[in-house]
Structure 1
Amino acid sequence: MINETLNRLTGEMRSFNSLIIMNITGAGLAVAMGMAFVVRNVHPMVAARTIIWPEAAMVALVVAGGVLLFRWFLTGVEMMDEYQDVREKSSGHENGAEESATELIVKNMAFYRDHRESMNGLILGSLVTGAFFLLSATSQVRYLFSVLGSGTPFEVAFILVGFSLCLVLGVAGVYISYMFRRYEATWDRRLQESREAEKRLGELLEGSS
């Protein structure tokens, strides 16, 4: 029973860790693409020494969005660093001790409660990142078939690696967001039960005083 609980909890922890990684990946990629867009559109303005519309407005919007995404990237990095402490506690649970399971549940519940407001954003971020990679994989299909018919072995290998990577990351992003949505309901229920238990304990302590 204890081993089953630990295995289920370990799966939930892997899912949450993957969710954070997918958000860091998506935010980092978006920031990099935004920087490339800004450089590409600002360079002609610098060369011409004039503001070009509507490119200037688009650059301003991309910069504003990039700042928000960079903050989200940093948030993901901070969350991952904080969650590492929780994950390291799971490395010594081969003995299946009940205390280990209880400690893990308490630590995960505390972490989830502290970051509850960010959960929907993490799920959405993983879904959007997955959708982006799936669209990228889809856009490569036509080129993939043309390369398979007339490309060199190096070109075929290169496009296959890129297509496979985008496909795997896309499926992973969508699947992780779906799985964690299920885990989110479980942790919400645990938090509710914890609050009710704390309330009952408080009432008992008040009654005995």
Structure 2
Amino acid sequence: MVDREIVSIFCNQSRLMILIMSNLYYCKYHSPIGDIFIGFLEDGIFRIKFGGLTEEDFVRDLMNLYLNCGIKRGNLPSLVKKEFDLYFDGNPIKFRSRVIFLTGTGFQKKVWEEVGKIPYGRLVSYSDIALEMSKTGAERAVGNAVGANPVPIIIPCHRVIRKDGGIGGFGAGIALKKKLLRLEGIIVSGNIK
């Protein structure tokens, strides 16, 4: 099994070095919010996208990010399927599927790790994350890093809102962000704009 730190070191030097040694796989998960496309290696997930894109769009995205890598359709890893099934059935779970950050700066990875700590059914603001990281005043940078999250749902960026209670952004669209929050029992009216 490849250690996350080793993967990060390789990726910081050349994100393709580690990928030359293995194929990239992808699969589709049918969910109540639509098809979710998952990119994975043998030992972890590196990309999740949804929100109306097609399988061809997802494969093109992978090809653009990871040039010259073998991209194959694979079977959904059993742990991911189990966790997604539980999640979309409304169970408050903490994802245990291994995430591999093949892209991202050191700062982005720290933000993603912080976002990964947000419990099911809870909201935090971009300011809260900046404060937790001892980066007061870095709310915009935190927001940009949250927006670049390569594995939404597992790294729950949908649980991050603006300090004023505004819903904030979401790569798959605000409507899907609200659906995910409602699934977790968070009321998306009133204070959330």
Taking structure 1 as the reference length, the TM-score comes to: 0.20
Structure 1 or 2, whichever has the larger Rg, is 1
Relative to total residues, which structure has the larger helix share, 1 or 2? 1
Greater percentage in strand? 2
Higher relative contact order (CA 8 A, sep 6+): 1
TM-score after normalising by structure 2? 0.21
